[in-house]
Amino acid sequence: MSSRPLLKFAIVLIWAFILLFPMLGIEEDRFVWDRVLKVMAVITAAGMLVLVYHYFLKGLSLRPKVFDEASTKFRPPRRLLIGLGVAGVLALPWIADNYGRDIAINVLIYIALGLGLNIVVGLAGLLDLGYIAFYAVGAYTYALLNTNFGVPFWLALPVGCVISAGVGAFIGYPTLKMRGDYLAIVTLGFGEIIRIVLNNWDKVTKGPNGILGIKAPGLFYPVVENGSIEFAHLYLKNLIWMYYLILAIAVLIMLAVYRLNTSRIGRAWMAVREDETAAELTGIHTTRMKLYAYMLGAIFAGFAGAFFAAKVRYVNPSSFIFLESALVLCIVVLGGMGSIPGIIIGAAAIIVLPEMFRGLALYRMAAFGGAMTAMMVFRPEGLLPAKRKAQEVEMERETATIP
């Protein structure tokens, strides 16, 4: 048994101590050991688990078994599962109370955002860190149009989408022409700019106070009265209506993404994602394709944003901070880039888990950050990867010749 893993383990522990002690162990001029020791204990335990795996379990490739065999042996008929799922989703507002409906609506909003961002990040491979800005654009567009000019939801929706697309083009065009890497910083900056502008442009956006009194989407429906057909108007304020509306939006986006995945444009995006130079050589206008992906993502976010404004009927800048962009990104990355079921589960997890584990709320983002890095290092395909992506990663692992 070589001693090298043990040596590495020792170095890791020493290094961790050096990094943790100044931050956790010094208060004024006293040395406090309890926090440092707690964290060191966790690291030591994790390290020992890794060592055990390395020394005893390595030969027994556990992972493939767990996923492959289980899925082929124990899976009940697929259609039954899907049917139950669909039924559950449709019936949800009637089974749950308002709290449950609200959570479900939030999950669906994040699913819509995740799918939209997936087009940019998962399909085209562009890192967008300011995605929430388009969400804000959509929301504030409807808010402003509605409260200042009385524009109804269904009219404001396409306007919001167009504006989002326009902004996306303006930001994306110079950036994508240069290095794709720059998009990350530019979008990050852009997200912040939007937030700052929304916060400070008191005259228009009402600053940190936000915009109140936004109307919910309205619906005209026919009513038979005295033998003639009249149209009555109903505001869809009820959470049940909202749920079905966002469900429809989410399903729409889901269908769009699914079709895109297999379409020519989708394959062009994936080619650009994998190897831009090669894609360029096969005749794909990479800059244009990237721009389209970015704009499409913007449109979907704008869509979701308008819905958000209509549902909460109040917008203020604090809903559009970087944290939100990061969360949506986590959904896409941790769920498996390009994978629709992965994003659904990711969105559900990100909304539901913090509700369940309220006490650990402070650790949430640190955990997501660490998970994202860990995912890239150990399992870049994500938790429930799109089939094609997983194959690609496997092939790369097999043919790597450089040690």
Site for another protein in 315-344 (CB under 8 A): 322, 326, 329, 333
DSSP string, 70-138: HHHHSPPPHHHHHHHHHHHHHHHHHHS-HHHHHHHHHHHHHHHHHHHHHIIIIIT----S-HHHHHHHH
The residue among 28 and 225 lying less far from another protein, judged by its C-beta, is 28
Is residue 141 within 8 Å of residue 310, measured between CB atoms? no
Asked if 105 and 216 count as a contact pair (C-beta separation under 8 A), the reply is no
Q: Where in 96-164 does DSSP place strands (E)? A: none
CB of 134 to another protein, least distance (A): 16
Residue 262 interacts with another protein (CB under 8 A): yes or no: no
User: CB 123 → another protein: shortest distance, Å?
Assistant: 11
- By residue count, the chain amounts to 403
What is the SS3 assignment for 277?
Answer: helix
Q: Does 372 bind another protein (CB under 8 A)?
A: yes
Apex CA 93: angle with CA 87 and CA 99, to 5°?
135
Task: Report the residue from 106, 141, 175, 286 that binds another protein according to the rule CB under 8 A.
Answer: 175
Contact letters (x/-) for another protein, 197-236, by CB under 8 A? x-xx------------------------------------
Q: Is the dihedral of CA 365, 369, 371, 375 positive or negative?
A: positive
Distance (Å, rounded) from C-alpha 38 to C-alpha 34? 6
CA 378, CA 370: separation in Å to the nearest integer? 12
Q: Does 23 bind another protein (CB under 8 A)?
A: yes
Q: How far is the CB of 150 from another protein (least distance, A)?
A: 30
373 binds another protein per the rule CB under 8 A: yes
What distance in Å separates the CA atoms of residue 344 and residue 99, rounded to the nearest whole number? 20
Q: How far is the CB of 369 from another protein (least distance, A)?
A: 3
The nearest distance, CB 3 to another protein, in angstroms, is 20
By CB under 8 A, residue 18 contacts another protein: yes
| CA triple 351-293-276, angle to 5 deg | 115
Taking CB under 8 A as the binding criterion, the range among 149-157, 159-167, 194-202, 352-360 that sits at the site for another protein is 194-202
Structure tokens at 230: 């009249």
How many whole angstroms separate alpha carbon 332 and alpha carbon 349? 12
Closest approach, Cβ 169 to another protein, in A, equals 13
Of the pair 15, 154, the CB lying nearest another protein is at 15
How many helices and strands, by DSSP H and E, does the chain display? 17, 6
Of 12 and 352, nearer to another protein (C-beta) is 12
Residue 197 beta carbon to another protein: minimum distance, rounded to whole angstroms: 7
**32 lies in the site for another protein, by CB under 8 A:** no
Closer of 22 and 150 to another protein (Cβ): 22
**Selected binder of another protein within 35, 54, 267, 388 (CB under 8 A):** 35
Q: Which is nearer to another protein, 307 or 368 (CB)?
A: 368
Phi and psi at residue 165, to the nearest 5°? -60, -40
3-class SS shares of the chain: helix, strand, coil, % to 5: 80, 5, 15
DSSP character for 216? P
Please tell me whether residue 138 adopts helix, strand or coil conformation.
helix
Choice between 89 and 188, CB closer to another protein: 188
Report residue 228 as tokens: 């003639």
Cβ proximity to another protein: between 255 and 360 the closer is: 360
- Looking at the Cβ atoms of 79 and 397, the one nearer to another protein is 397
Q: Is 196 a binder of another protein (CB under 8 A)?
A: yes
The residue ranges that bind another protein (CB under 8 A) are 15, 18-20, 22-24, 26, 28-29, 35, 121, 125-127, 129, 171, 174-175, 177-182, 184-186, 188-190, 192-193, 196-197, 199-200, 273-274, 322, 326, 329, 333, 362-363, 365-366, 368-377, 380, 395, 399-403
